Amino acid sequence: MVKAAADSPGNLQAVPTSSRARAVLGKVKRRLQATAPRPAKKQAAKKAPSKRQAEGRKQPGRRSSTYKALPGDRLLERPVFVLSSIRSGSTLLRVLLNSHTAIHAPHELHLGGIEIGLHGRFTGAAMEEIELDEVQLQYLLWDRVLHRELTRHGKKVLVNKTPSDSFRWRRILECWPDARFIFLLRHPAAVTDSWAKARPDWARDRVADDVLRYMVAVEEARAQHGGLTIKYEDITLDPEREMQRVCEFLEVEWEPSMIDYGNSEHGDFQAGLGDWSERIKSGKIQPVDRLPGRDETPASLVPISVKWGYL
């Protein structure tokens, strides 16, 4: 017979009378210990972000990585980014460029939505030890995705277009200091009209304010960094001249076949990846017939319209 008293699951007192009794007692003790409530673990104090990191979180487009890329970190050389507002004809520019034998211009890849998570007790410390924070890891992934797209299609120049890239042009330059920009402009009132059709439940002022934030970001990058500026209207009216300008900027030979983009494969046209209208699916460039006047331009867009030479 075994006499036992359990003051607590971890304090079992017993006087065994046989080896079998001792075995039974040990099993009971282990079971009680396994089910006993355990003291809560102390949460590790989170390391306060550096001043630069904190500033980067407040302003997502600003430099926010603690470390610099090392030689060999980037596979992609001199990538090109189209910076534009939504509804500015960036899909048309994309398919024209993608029709060139040396240029690959994929559908919108939304790089900003590709994020890195460091999980596990020691993962963050391990990455910090080799001078990789989450931002630099994200940049490695961005670079790998775009380089994969370029090599998969056997071309030599990568042109990426996603309108939201206009808000992260500083991060693009942090990732690829040799990146080049093409600034695609369109009459702000025409952009507003196009976006209003996609947002019929929005007031016109709200639509105008929404597109204006893209335009302000584009203009900021254009003023502070520079690149090639082209206008959607000019592309539709004289595509040969404008594409020759673009090819010169990209340092590739002009190919007349670029204009007939309907003869090349560009993937599916679908919402979220670019324009999906019947206009772009036609495979034909359709000229802009008229520009909105001042009386058709929302007041909030007049200054940028003047700056861009539309009014």
Q: How many domains are there within the chain?
A: 1
- CA atoms of 140 and 252, how far apart (whole Å): 27
pLDDT tens per residue across span 174-186: 999 999 999 999 9
Mean pLDDT within 135-139: 92
Q: Which residues contact 41 (CB under 8 A, 6 or more apart)?
A: none
Task: Specify if 26 maps to a domain.
Answer: no
Q: Which residue has the tokens 């016109």?
A: 204
Task: Specify if 185 maps to a domain.
Answer: yes
Apex 107 CA angle, 105 and 108, nearest 5: 115
Task: Specify if 254 maps to a domain.
Answer: yes
* Cβ atoms of 228 and 85 closer than 8 Å: no
Q: Where are the beta strands (DSSP E) in the chain?
A: 3-8, 11-15, 80-84, 103-104, 157-161, 180-185, 228-231
Q: Which residue has the tokens 């809560």?
A: 40
Mean pLDDT within 55-80: 74
Task: Specify if 203 maps to a domain.
Answer: yes
Angle at which helix 90-98 crosses helix 239-250, to 10 degrees, equals 70
Give the range of the structural domain holding residue 168, as residue numbers without chain letter: 77-108+155-307
> Of the given ranges (147-151, 207-211, 258-262, 299-303), which has the lowest mean pLDDT?
258-262
Paired residues of 157 in beta bridges: 103
Q: In the predicted model, is pLDDT for residue 213 greater than 80?
A: yes
Task: Specify if 44 maps to a domain.
Answer: no
Pairing between β-strand 103-104 and β-strand 3-8 as defined by DSSP bridges? unpaired
Task: Specify if 241 maps to a domain.
Answer: yes
Q: Which residues contact 51 (CB under 8 A, 6 or more apart)?
A: none
pLDDT tens per residue across span 88-111: 999 999 999 999 999 999 987 888
- CA atoms of 274 and 272, how far apart (whole Å): 6
Task: Specify if 150 maps to a domain.
Answer: no
Return the pLDDT at 17: 45
Query: What pLDDT band is residue 280 in, cutting at 50, 70 and 90?
Result: low
- CA atoms of 111 and 134, how far apart (whole Å): 14
Return the pLDDT at 139: 95
Task: Specify if 37 maps to a domain.
Answer: no
Q: What's the CATH number where 183 sits?
A: 3.40.50.300
- CA atoms of 266 and 261, how far apart (whole Å): 9
Q: Where are the beta strands (DSSP E) in 68-201?
A: 80-84, 103-104, 157-161, 180-185
